[in-house]
Structure 1
Amino acid sequence: MGPIDAFWHLLNLFGPAIGLGLIAPSLAKLLWRRELAAVPWRVLAQWVSGAGAGVTLAGLAVFGRDGRMATYAALVLATAAALWWRGFFRR
């Protein structure tokens, strides 16, 4: 495998985490404008993407392969937890 193939493999591995890291904070900032006004969008995106990347790696380690539905369910839960923790709980 060449370096370009390795890059695409890594991008596809972390794609759902990055995608949720971009979409979820945007929707949260739209729904809870006043409550999340003090928290920058970039901070929320970093927390969500980091949590998603960690869950993706944990799912890969536990199941031995990528793309299991349990990993995606844990990804959604980790996204919600990261948004709650950084957006509402920790100020």
Structure 2
Amino acid sequence: MDANVFFWHLLNFLAPAAFLAVTLGLGAWALRIPRRLPLWTGIGLNFVLGSIVLGAGLALTGSDGKLTTYGALVLVMGSFQWLLRRNTGAA
């Protein structure tokens, strides 16, 4: 596999994490949910966390694109986004 093919494989492998990180970050911003971190820091951390989940899913299942991996990706990144909320004292 040459460098060009590897680049496109890697880009497609990380695309779900990037899409979900941006969607969660901009969604929280649009809904004006108070956050502990700036917008782009939260998006970056979500992307790194999502990439780790995708890599773990690839290592555990032996192939990428498994539904369990995507389910874990949504669960972990959604939970992390919830943790990024600033405690405002409201329920």
TM-score (norm 1): 0.86
2:17 corresponding residue in structure 1: 17
Alpha-carbon contact 1:55-1:74 (below 8 Å) kept: yes
2:9 aligned partner, one-letter code: H
Letter in 1 for 2:84: R
Equivalent residue number for residue 59 of structure 1: 57
**CA 1:87 to 1:46, structure 2 compared with 1: closer, same or farther past 3 Å?**
farther
- Could you tell me which residue of structure 2 aligns to residue 8 of structure 1? 8
CA contact (8 A) 1:21 1:49 kept: yes
CA distance in 2 between counterparts of 1:34 and 1:55 reads: 25
Question: Any idea what SS the aligned residue of 1:35 has?
Answer: coil
Stretches of structure 1 lacking an aligned partner (at least 5 in a row) = none
Output one character per residue of 1:54-88: Cα deviation in whole Å (capped at 9) or x when no partner.
11001001100000000000010111122122333
Against the structure 1 CA distance between its residues 41 and 59, is the aligned structure 2 distance closer, same or farther, given a 3 Å change threshold? same
Percentage of matched positions with identical amino acids: 34
The worse-fitting range, judged by mean Cα deviation, of 8-17 and 78-87 is 78-87
Q: 2:40 maps to which residue? A: 42
Which whole-Å CA distance do the structure 2 matches of 1:78 and 1:88 have between them?
18
- Report the Cα distance in structure 1 between the residues aligned to 2:33 and 2:20, rounded to whole angstroms: 22
Which one has the bigger helix percentage? Answer: 1
Give 1:20 shift: 0.9
User: 1:26 Cα deviation (Å)?
Assistant: 0.3
